[in-house]
Every structure is written in structure tokens, then in C-alpha cells.
Amino acid sequence: MSTAAPRASAPRPRAYPDPGPFALVAVCRPVRGEFTYAVPDALRTALTPGLRIRVPFGRAISLGFYLGPASDPGPSVKTRPIEKALDLEPALTPDLVELLRFAARHYRAPLGEVMKAALPPGLSQATDARDAKPDAVLWAKVVPGVTPAMITRAPAQHAAFSYLTAVGGEALVDEVEHAMAGAREHLKKLAKRGLVTLEPRTVVRAVAQGLAQGRPEALTEAQAVAVQELERAVSEGQFAPYLLHGVTGSGKTEVYLRAAEHARALGKGTLILVPEIALTPQLVGRFKSRFGDAVAVLHSALKDSERLRHWQALRSGKVSIAVGVRSGVFAPIPNLGLVVVDEEHDPSFKQEEKLRYHARDLAVVRAQRAKATVVLGSATPSLETLLNTRQGKYRLLTLPTRVDDRPMPGVSLVDLRLERPKDPAARDVEPPILSPPLRAAMRETLEKGQQVILFLNRRGHSTYVLCEVCGQSRRCTDCDVCLTHHLGQRALVCHYCGKRSPLPTTCPECDGPLLTLGVGTEKVEEEVGTTFPGARLARLDRDAVTNNERLTELLAAFARREIDVLIGTQMVAKGHDFPGVTLVCVLLADSALALPDFRAAERTFHLLTQVAGRAGRGKEPGRVLVQSYNPLAEAVARSVGHDFEGFSALELARRKALGWPPWSRLAAVRVEGEDPDLTADVARRLGRAMARALPAASLGVRLLGPAPAPIAKVKGKTRWQLVLKAPTHALMLGPLEAAEALLPELPGSVRAVIDVDPGAML
């Protein structure tokens, strides 16, 4: 058996001698620790840190990673040999190996699983490496001299051949299949008969028209200062962290581009991280229009072959610039000189499952280890980043005005309390989604040929369904939440577990009539279509946009002004630059303020500011309407004047008084199981173990809970949580290790996970 041998992970030298008879290995299994294996003589010269290897583990064969030489475990321990090296060169570079070791320690995750997560599809199994083939599509082409009359006794083949001749003699096989079901097989038979040829052709994926932008002739004064400072930092080759705080439309992306140009001129690599796939097409368009094929793209919406190809281009050094979502923080970029985290405040940078890392924080750590410049960009910085800047840990660069001296959009509040029906008999009637001021503003905007964005962070048609007689709402049987009515799917859907069921005609409890209440993006689309029948509408949410191609098409069509009104969730709020948009409306500003999360106000302010920033980015001035039932809430009221300084000062003071981040560090231990009593018992057991390991009370470490989670049931499982608060991360290690030590002993039906620096408290 191999033996677990947890070791310290001090930085290792860059020269790799013969590993000797024993090797330290990270095994890609959900087990903690590093393991000692014997090194066969044939592999003594092949092993370098970060190399993928195949190893026996228990009764199975597993993917592993060579970490370095191991000490002799002693004659009483029988070690098993490494079976095979799977690559000629290590998949993970030395700097990435050390970053992943840090991530495993900090986020309390098995090292092998962490290292596996850093690899693209095709390299995450215990199989030999393979080169990714370029994307190709299959074309069918008529052989010269062949006519439809020559195809007899095969009507289906005759029809497929006739289609080819009708469209000029050649076509995509997928196109013919779309026109005629089963055509693919008929074309293969025609190819065997020598009547058509089938050939793969490489696809060159161009940036969609409407997303790419040219290079501006001149920079603003603030942009020029920021670019000069970043170029100096990149040239010096030392760790230099910056906050680029620029109002929406101030040209932060152009600053990134100029800094990347400078890094490339010095032979250094650049990593650009964005929070969501929705932002990727536009940012990739900007970078590809500037750097051409020198840009690799990394996100999960790509085909596996595409992800592998882009990854291999980076690993080989053929490409030096990577644009990706949070997992891009592990991109194998040689000689890294510049790291950019765009919209650094966005909660999407926090991974909420498996390795629960924060990509922004790891990006800073990676830049520090690579002696690179890191830029955290935002119009609404997170309070963590803001405090680091005020304490002198990060340097501040500001872009206080929009490019071309464009004014910030004017923001007006619409008090929805005043828009309710005045007739007492109609007080129970829901107010219109589009308030009278919004309807007037939309009508004026559309008559001028300008564009509108309507933002509502709720999918579906109606957010809940209840009985008019007994008052019972339709709830998910597996989750402690109401079901959402999706009109397009003709179903009630749970947004936590995905369970769906038909909308009943009457109440299943008392046979009373059902009311569909609350507002989702589907209902907004319906009302806008009724109110403005001539307007061209599109909806941007996870229901309407199911793949990256559709997302790119929709954003490009909006950029080309083929869509008048874009209705969407937070996908419309982030980073997009559409010059034709002069009116933006937040339909329900306070929908997230009541969530039981200490960051609720901060995230509401961020979102309102980001949405408002989509207006007035062209030649025409923009305006924003914010509809709210709680217009006096600080997050809502401060957004009207774009008052980030005022809001952040109040919120920082409130957090300090309550001891919440950024004035403290958090870790959550979440417990879930099918048996409510057993789950509660396990949570209490973990709580007792953690309480015994708490440091002295004078050090300010607190354990909250165990208590039921705010959403107490998801996917049929009861949920409990414990929250650890401490002034520093180091002070949490004792209680976390105490909880971790109990995890192997828990009943199989109960699962507990540790979430360091949790992004949400639900």
C-alpha cells in the first residue's frame, strides 16, 4: 500500500535532479495528503514536478501528479511503484504546482483533486496525452459529372443529392441533415458509391460582427496616467497590485489592452479574468481585434476539443494572452507578466462547489509568486479590495470620468408605493411592471430610434403561485423554496434542484383557483410586447440563452441595433458596451435587499450601479430609472447619485461594528443529509469539536451556530451550517482542522464541506 505522508510545501528549486527511489505524489482522489510511491528505474529521468502519471491507488488505477522526491518511508512500509508517465513534459508548470498547493491548503481541499481541476478535458484522466485537433465540420460535395438521374432505386439518396445540386453542389452535412432528417446516413452511402465526397474543413471562429472594436486614437488624461504606471510596473518585473477604480464607461478595457501590448512587447504573458461567460464574447472581440490569434479563450461553454486546443497553445508558448472565467486563473501562461481581474467585485469569481476558491484572491497570489503586475478593475470595488487599497496594500489608479467627456447617466427613482392603484377595492391588484414614468420614457426612447435595457434579476414568468382560497403556495417538495412559473416551458420549476411539474389548473389542496404572482423576465417580455407591439424584443437569461453561440449572436445583434429592447437578468448588467442604449430601467431594485446575507446591501448597490452604467455610452446622453418599494434604503438612494464613496463609508462602518468582512475572515462548515435528525446531530458534533479548538477568547474568534441554513432544505436534503469569524485566517486553522479530522468518521448519508471565505451565506 502507498502511505499518506503530509509534507510541508516550501518553494522548491527550479532544477530537478534524479528523484531517487521514492516520489511524492498527489493522487486525484477525494483524499487528503501527499503519497509516497516507488520510482521504477525506467522513470528516473522522466519525472519532473507537475508531470501527469498513472498510479495504483487501492484497487483502482488513478491519475496522479509527481511533486518531487520523497524520503524513504522505512522498511516496514511497502510502497507501490508508479506505473507510467503520461506526458513528455509536465502539464503543470512549477509556479502552477505551488499555486495549487497553496489553494489546497487555504481552501481545505485534497491536493490531487485541486490539480486535476486545473486541467482541461482530455488531460484530466489517467490516459496518454493527445494533441487537440482543430475544430472541423463535414462538407458534402457533388462529384463532377454526376447528376441526380444517375441515382436510381434509392429515393432518399436521390433527395439528398438533389438538395446538394440545388444549393450549388456542396453544403454542410449538418445543413442537409437539418433540411432532411436522416440525410447524414444517405450522404455517407452516396460517398461509398463515389457520387459525393465528404471532407472535413477546419472552422475558423471569427469574432461576431458588432462585438469587435477598433483602437481609439487617443487616451483620456486619466487613462494615459494609468497606462504609464502599469507599463512601468510590468517592466520592473516585481509584484505590483493595483485597483483600477473607474466609473462605468471610463475605458478600463483600453487600459488593459495597452498594458497587455506592453507585456507582449517584453515577451511576457497576460491573463485576463472576467466573472461570467456573458462577458467573454465582447472582451474576446476587443482582444482579438488587437492581438489576432495570439489570444486563447478558456471557459466551460467551449467544446472540450476547443478548450484543450487553447490550453495546449498556451502551454507550448505559441499563445501568450488568455481570456477566461474564474478557472482561467490556472491557465498555463509562461513568463506571466500581467494579470487583470475585470469586475473584480463580482460574486461569480467565487466557486461554490468542489474546490471553493475565489479566483480574484488566487489571481493576486499567482501574480505575487510570478512577480507580476495584477490589476483589479471595477466601477464598484468590493469592500475587501477597497480596504486593502486604503491600508496601502494595493495601489490606486482612478478613471473618474467617461471617455470623450460623456456625462454619467441621470438616475431617477420611481417609488412603486405611489404607483399602486388608488381605489381601495383594487389594493390587492399587483401594480404594473412598467410604471407610467417608465412607459413614457420607453415610448420617447423608441420613437428616437434608441435602445432600452430592462433589468430584473428573476427568471421565469411568475415567481410564485398560490391558492386564492386556502393561501397555500406551490413549493418544491425537495427544497424549501417556492416554485417559479415558466410560461414558455408550461411548467413550475425549482431554481435550486431543477425539478419541474405541470402547472395545475386548480389548487391540489382545496380545488380553489390559483393566482400567479410576482414578476420574472418572461412576464416583463410579455408586458413589453403588449405595450409596444412594434418594438423588437429579446430576452437575455439562462432560459433564453442556452449556449455560447446563441449568447454571442444575441449580443452582436443588439450591438448592431437589430434589437430595440433587451430584457434580462444580471447577464445584461456586466461590462457590456452598447452605444445605442440611452435608457436603462431597474424594474425592482430592492429584490435582494431582504436576503439573510451581510453582503446584501453591497451587492444591491454594485448591481444597480453596473446596470445604470450601460446607459449613455454613445454620443447620446443616457438616463436610468430605478423602480423601488424602498427608495430610502442606502443601497438604492446612494446609487441615484453614483455615490460609491458615501455608500462604501457607511457600509464599512456597519461591517466594522458587527465584525463582518473585510474586518474579519470567515469560514463556513455546511452539513447536509436526508435524515433531519441525523444531520442536526452531526452539525452539533462538529460544533462541539470546533468549539473545543477555539483560541483564547481574547483573540476575537467566534463560532456561530450550528443552526439551520437560511434555506433549510435543498434537493431533498436538510441543511445546517456553522460560521467561524476571526481577525485573521491563521486563527481559524485550529477549529477548521478539528472539523476536518471528523469528516472521515461521519455517516455516509451525511455530507459536510468546509467553505473558506464563503461568498454567500444562504
Q: Is the peptide bond before 381 cis (omega within 30 degrees of 0)?
A: no
Identical fold at 136-202 and 410-458+519-654? no
Query: What is residue 462's DSSP assignment?
Result: B
Hey, which bits of 343-427 come out as E strands? Answer: 373-378, 395-399, 410-415
CA–CA dist 366, 404 (Å, integer): 35
CA–CA dist 516, 492 (Å, integer): 11
Q: What is the pLDDT of residue 281?
A: 64
Please, what's the largest Cα pairwise distance for the chain? 93
Query: What is residue 233's DSSP assignment?
Result: H
Burial class of residue 148 (count of CB atoms within 10 Å of its CB; 0-12, 13-18, 19+): middle
Long-range contacts at 308-311 (CB < 8 A, ≥ 24 apart): 308/120, 308/121, 308/122, 308/123, 308/132, 309/132, 309/133, 309/134, 309/135, 310/120, 311/119, 311/120, 311/123, 311/132
DSSP string, 290-324: HHGGGEEEE-TTS-HHHHHHHHHHHHTTS--EEEE
Q: Are 638 and 653 in contact (CB under 8 A)?
A: no
Helical spans, DSSP H, in 383-520: 383-390, 436-447
| CB-based burial, 680-695: b 16+ in 10 Å, e otherwise | bbbbebbbebbeebbe
CA–CA dist 738, 756 (Å, integer): 15
Q: What is the pLDDT of residue 5?
A: 36
Provide CATH code, domain 136-202: 1.10.10
Q: Which residue has the cell 499555486?
A: 99
- Contacts of residue 254, defined as CB under 8 A and 6 or more positions apart, other chains included, come to 216, 219, 223, 403
Provide CATH code, domain 665-756: 3.30.70.600
DSSP SS3 for 186? helix
Mean pLDDT, consecutive 10-residue stretches, the chain (762 aa), reads 36 56 92 91 89 92 93 88 91 92 94 92 82 72 86 84 81 76 87 90 50 73 96 96 92 94 96 81 78 83 80 90 93 95 93 92 96 96 96 96 84 83 53 85 94 86 72 77 76 79 82 76 88 91 73 79 89 75 89 82 89 81 89 89 92 93 95 94 96 89 91 88 94 95 92 92 79
Q: Looking at the whole model, is its pTM more than 0.85? A: no
CA–CA dist 719, 710 (Å, integer): 9
CA–CA dist 161, 148 (Å, integer): 7
* Chain-centroid distance, C-alpha 388: 24
Q: Are 567 and 540 in contact (CB under 8 A)?
A: yes
Reply yes or no on domain 3-117 having CATH 3.40.1440.60: yes
Residue type, 600: A
Q: What is the pLDDT of residue 17?
A: 64
| CB-based burial, 382-418: b 16+ in 10 Å, e otherwise | bbbbbbbbeeeebeebebebbbeebebbebebbebee
Q: What is the pLDDT of residue 574?
A: 67
Q: Which is it for strands 321-324 and 565-568: parallel, antiparallel or unpaired?
A: unpaired
Q: What is the pLDDT of residue 727?
A: 94
CA–CA dist 721, 751 (Å, integer): 12
CA–CA dist 230, 31 (Å, integer): 42
What Cα–Cα distance (Å) separates residue 219 from each residue in 342, 409, 640, 744, 752?
Answer: 19, 21, 28, 58, 52
Q: Where are the domains of the chain?
A: 3-117, 136-202, 221-404, 410-458+519-654, 665-756
CA–CA dist 112, 30 (Å, integer): 8
Question: Given 3-state DSSP classes, what are the helix, strand and coil percentages for the chain, each rounded to the nearest 5?
Answer: 35, 25, 40
CA–CA dist 604, 689 (Å, integer): 36
Fold category of 410-458+519-654 in CATH: Rossmann fold (3.40.50)
CATH class of 221-404: alpha beta
For the record, the C-alpha cell of 535 comes out as 418594438
